[in-house]
Amino acid sequence: MKFKAEFIFETDDAYSIYQSILPELETPVSNRSIIRMSNSDSSLVLTVEAEDVVSMRSTLNTWLRLIQVAHEISQATGHT
């Protein structure tokens, strides 16, 4: 892998977000990128490795949006 990005999200919703998007890890969208995700009590860690810039951008757009939507839903429903 040529490119690697790691994001750490500090939030009380880390577990809810992690559980809601965990099924997405089971079906890779592309063989040009690798996604890893982990969580602790108050943080969610997203690691993306990609073969090229296009794949990195595409993968980051998808996963950052998934995390954003999961966070918004968790906030709206009061699940923390």
What confidence score (pLDDT) does residue 75 get? 87
Q: 51 pLDDT band (50/70/90 cuts)?
A: very high
Average pLDDT over residues 36-57: 95
- On the question of pLDDT at 1 being above 70, the answer is no
Class for domain 3-77, per CATH? alpha beta
Gap between the Cα atoms of 72 and 36, Å rounded: 21
Q: Phi and psi of 53, rounded to 5°?
A: -65, -40
**pLDDT, mean of residues 9-30:** 91
Q: What value does the mean pLDDT take over residues 71-76?
A: 90
pLDDT band at 80 (very low <50, low <70, confident <90, very high): low
